[in-house]
Amino acid sequence: MNAKFFDLKQEKQDRMVNAALRIFALNGYQHASTDDIVKEAHISKGLLFHYFDSKLGVYSFVYDYAVRYISLELSSAIDPEETSFFTVLRQMEAAKMQVLKSYPFMLMFVHSCKDESITEAVLATESSRQTLDENINTILSATDRSFLESKKNAAELLKMLSYTIEGSMETALKDGSFNAEMNYNDNIKYISITEKMIK
């Protein structure tokens, strides 16, 4: 990646990043096309390759960018003194909303990378994936999760919550109805329902 990318106007940076996030999120690494990325970003292919060596270069850059951006929003939104698991989940949703206001496909892209099977793409993002997982685990490990042992089916309910939150976001992104604030409000409702079921 050419460091001069960050000398571009923020609007053009965001256009390029958002285009890459969307194309990779919807198609996976193998089927994503740089032709589609430049078309989505309204730039020339020459400009894309001026800053990035290859499709893999674009992919690894936007993943690293996503990890840094998500981690920054999480660090701003999470109260390090808070120990309530569900309160922290709500704070995490607030961080996600801020991410999605600027980069609607960022979380879908990150989630899709977990299922990536192309070796070069997996290897190119391995370190950043570990960093994001560690950041999230650190946040959640500071909360009181004793209910996982004391409440029957708590783990299964949390898994259902995760699937619901992720699935509703991806459905809205794919059908063009996504709105970050509406997504946040819906997710807060899902968290409250789950919390009541567990308690």
The per-residue pLDDT for range 15-26, each reduced to its tens digit, is: 999 999 999 999
* 100, 126 contact by CB (below 8 A): no
| Average pLDDT estimate for 40-50 | 95
Mean pLDDT of the chain: 95
Is the residue at 3 inside a domain?
Answer: no
Instruction: Output the pLDDT for position 199.
Output: 85
- Percent of the chain with pLDDT strictly greater than 70: 99
| Average pLDDT estimate for 142-153 | 94
Instruction: Kindly write down the DSSP assignment for every residue of 69-133, as one continuous string.
Output: HHHHHHHHH--TT--BHHHHHHHHHHHHHHHHHH-TTHHHHHHHHTT---HHHHHHHHHHHHHHH
| Average pLDDT estimate for 43-57 | 94
Is the residue at 168 inside a domain?
Answer: yes
Q: Summarize pLDDT for 88-111 with one digit per residue, the tens.
A: 999 999 999 999 999 999 999 999
| Average pLDDT estimate for 27-35 | 97
CATH of the domain at 175: 1.10.357.10
How far apart (Å, rounded) are the C-alpha atoms in residues 44 and 24? 18
Phi and psi torsions of 78, nearest 5°? -90, 125
Candidates 114, 16, 116; CA nearest to 61 is 16
Instruction: Output the pLDDT for position 17.
Output: 98
How far apart (Å, rounded) are the C-alpha atoms in residues 8 and 88? 36
* Residue 66 CB neighbours (<10 A): 23
Whether residue 2 has pLDDT greater than 70: no
Is the residue at 58 inside a domain?
Answer: yes
Instruction: Kindly write down the DSSP assignment for every residue of 130-146, as one continuous string.
Output: HHHHHHHHHHHHTSB-T
Confidence of residue 131 (pLDDT cuts 50, 70, 90): very high
| Average pLDDT estimate for 191-199 | 95
* 108, 173 contact by CB (below 8 A): yes
Q: How many domains does the chain have?
A: 1
Instruction: Output the pLDDT for position 194.
Output: 97
Whether residue 4 has pLDDT greater than 90: no
Structural domain for 194, as ranges: 8-198
How far apart (Å, rounded) are the C-alpha atoms in residues 125 and 148? 31
How far apart (Å, rounded) are the C-alpha atoms in residues 194 and 198? 6
Is the residue at 2 inside a domain?
Answer: no
How far apart (Å, rounded) are the C-alpha atoms in residues 120 and 143? 36
Residue type, 69: Y
Specify the pTM.
Answer: 0.93
Confidence of residue 1 (pLDDT cuts 50, 70, 90): low
